[in-house]
Amino acid sequence: MPQSVIRRATLEAFLARLGSGFDRPARVYLVGETTQVFEGWREWIRRVEFAAEVLPGDRSAFDEAVRILRAELGIEVIEESPGDDDDAGTMPQTVPASVL
């Protein structure tokens, strides 16, 4: 069962472990409330939401790295894209959190 809340320390652990566990070029952008926790504007979230730029040939390895971390850390992780936003015509707030 996923953690009921995710705080900044867990978010930082997720990003650090993703950076060390996936050794190919990629960019990860935190989305929405996840950005707020990373910046210290909010105390907790229920899931990590992010968007990623990964080379097509590296996508399956990246997805596997995320899946492993999700299980090891016991957190809910959702990859989103600007096209997934519920508000048509707007883009979610993103902040470059880590260049892997």
**Residues 30-51: tens digit of each pLDDT:** 999 999 999 999 999 999 999 9
Q: How confident is the model over 9-34, as pLDDT tens digits?
A: 999 999 999 999 999 999 999 999 99
How far is Cα 21 from Cα 92, in angstroms, rounded to an integer?
27
43 versus 3: which is more confidently predicted? 43
Find, among 75, 95, 92, the residue nearest to 83 by Cα: 92
How far is Cα 64 from Cα 50, in angstroms, rounded to an integer?
15
Q: Would you say the C-alpha torsion 63, 66, 68, 74 has a positive or negative sign?
A: negative
Q: How confident is the model over 66-97, as pLDDT tens digits?
A: 999 999 999 999 998 766 555 444 444 444 44
State how far Cα 72 lies from the chain centre. Answer: 15
Average pLDDT over residues 53-63: 96
Report pLDDT for 4. Answer: 83
How far is Cα 34 from Cα 31, in angstroms, rounded to an integer?
6
Residues with Cβ within 8 Å of residue 54, at least 6 apart in sequence: 24, 25, 26, 62
